[in-house]
Amino acid sequence: MVFSEPETLEEVCHLLSEQPDARCLAGGASLVAMMNAGLLAPSHLISLRKIPDLANIQALPDGSVQIGAMARHADVARYDGFTGAQRIVAAAARRIGHPAIRNMGTIGGSICHADPSADYPTAITAADAIVNIAGSGTTRQIPASEFFVDWLETALEPGEIVVSVVIPPDPSGASVHYEKFTRADGDFATVSVAVCLRILDDVVKTARIAVGGIAEKPVRSPSDENSLIGHPLTEDAIQDFSASLEPLCNPIDDMRGSADYRLMLMPRLIHRALSQALKTQLTSDLEGTA
Ligand SMILES: Cc1cc2nc3c(=O)[nH]c(=O)nc-3n(C[C@H](O)[C@H](O)[C@H](O)COP(=O)(O)OP(=O)(O)OC[C@H]3O[C@@H](n4cnc5c(N)ncnc54)[C@H](O)[C@@H]3O)c2cc1C
């Protein structure tokens, strides 16, 4: 196996396009585990470690936050420049694995691995994030909702890499909550729910709700979210919303829970996540007026 440490994105994309089974190496948390288990045997490993600025997290002039593909989960978890709904990304980063994994894994590696039980896919889908992609002499942007395609499969074409994830500004100042159910501390989610919520004068103004671990990619339904807008967030409304997501789910049986168990968990976690986000908003509204 060949190991390279290129210093430019162009070189990475060139190497990738030359050898179809070459793989980028980010934190190595998933890739090396799969190689050790004999599930993958790439002919060429291309480290992204020496590409300048790929680990940066920065606020852009329009209020977006750009997270470089090589930013570690721990750095995203403690970044304090997120505002409003953007904070769902840090909330999810804080729930990834345990400290060793958060110091090793990167956002680029996590979303390219595209495990539907991982934390970032659900969070960046709820955040309406944009994924910046580079290929040989090309760049393109796609919404997170289109980046995840299938189990462990993304919209990346051969020879392309993820450069950054951009979290758009949130003028509504939504509250967030990331609810994750695991069988063991530090594990991937059995089911997770990412919520961005703003309620004003007792009616819902913003509702973005994504569910992970329940299908081949994060489940989100903007049309069902829209039906919450302009109405009070009642128990019935939450129940109807959860029921409307069920036809979009395609859960599997695995060691983290059966498909039926996941479907039973989903409405309970949605309820808990919305209630927690609402509680956070009420507390901060109260502190704002105190
Ligand atoms: C014990 C353990 C517990 C874990 N718990 C959790 C958890 O609770 N929640 C969770 O979400 N995750 C969890 N993970 C996964 C962890 O978050 C990994 O960091 C993540 O899945 C992969 O990130 P990485 O940077 O290590 O990528 P790597 O393992 O280096 O790469 C993963 C894949 O992405 C590709 N890749 C990497 N970067 C790019 C890029 N920029 N462009 C294109 N392709 C790229 C690689 O070629 C490879 O195919 C856990 C992992 C372990 C080992």
In a domain, 14, yes or no: no
Ligand 1 atom 28 nearest Cα: 28
Instruction: Say which range, 17-26, 78-87, 212-221, 278-287, has the weakest mean pLDDT.
Output: 278-287
The ligand 1 atom at the shortest distance from the C-alpha of residue 29 is 26
Contact in structure between 72 and 102 (CB atoms under 8 Å): yes
Q: Is residue 225 part of a domain?
A: yes
Closest listed residue to residue 195, CA positions, set 238, 150, 143: 238
Does residue 108's CB lie within 6 angstroms of at least one atom of ligand 1?
Answer: yes
d(CA 86, CA 194): 11
pLDDT for 262: 98
Residue 139 pLDDT > 70: yes
User: What string of H, E and C letters represents the secondary structure of the chain?
Assistant: CEEECCCCHHHHHHHHHHCCCCEEECCCCCHHHHHHCCCCCCCEEEECCCCCCCCCEEECCCCCEEEECCCEHHHHHHCCCCCHHHHHHHHHHCCCCCHHHHCCCEHHHHHHHCCCCCHHHHHHHHCCCEEEEEECCEEEEEEHHHHEEECCEECCCCCCEEEEEEECCCCCCCEEEEEEECCCCCCCCCEEEEEEEEEECCEEEEEEEEEECCCCCCECCHHHHHCCCCCCCCHHHHHHHHHHHHHHCCCCCECCECHHHHHHHHHHHHHHHHHHHHHHHHHHHHHHHC
Question: How far, in Å, from the CA of 68 to the mean position of ligand 1?
Answer: 14
Is 29 close to ligand 1, i.e. is its CB under 6 Å away?
Answer: yes
For residue 279, what are the domain limits? 175-289
In a domain, 246, yes or no: yes
CB 213 within 8 A of CB 206: no
Task: Please report the pLDDT score of residue 284 as a whole number.
Answer: 87
Q: What is the pLDDT of residues 99-126, one digit of tens each?
A: 999 999 999 999 999 999 999 999 999 9
Confidence of residue 290 (pLDDT cuts 50, 70, 90): very low
Contact 277, 196 (CB under 8 A): yes
Average pLDDT, the chain: 96
Q: Is residue 30 part of a domain?
A: no
- Would 270 be classed as within a structural domain? yes
The reply to whether 206 falls in a domain is yes
Q: What pLDDT was estimated at residue 20?
A: 85
Q: The domain spanning residue 234 has which CATH number?
A: 3.30.390.50
Residues 6+ apart with CB under 8 A from 108: 24, 26, 48, 54, 68, 69, 70, 71, 161, 162, 163, 165
**How many domains does the chain divide into?**
1
Q: Sorting pLDDT into bands at 50, 70 and 90, what band is 289?
A: low
* Segment 142-172, tens digit of pLDDT: 999 999 999 999 999 999 999 999 999 998 8
Q: Is the pLDDT of residue 128 over 60?
A: yes
Give yes or no for residue 114 CB within 6 A of ligand 1: no
* In a domain? residue 240: yes
Ligand 1 neighbourhood includes 109 CB (under 6 angstroms): yes
Residue 275 lies in a domain: yes
CA-based radius of gyration for the chain: 19
Residue 44 one-letter amino acid? H
The pair of three-digit structure tokens given for residue 94, joined into one six-digit string: 């804080």
Atom 11, ligand 1: residue with shortest CA distance: 118
Question: Which tens digits make up the pLDDT trace of 78-106?
Answer: 999 999 999 999 999 999 999 999 999 99
Distance 236 CA to ligand 1 centre (A): 38
Predicted pLDDT at 287: 84
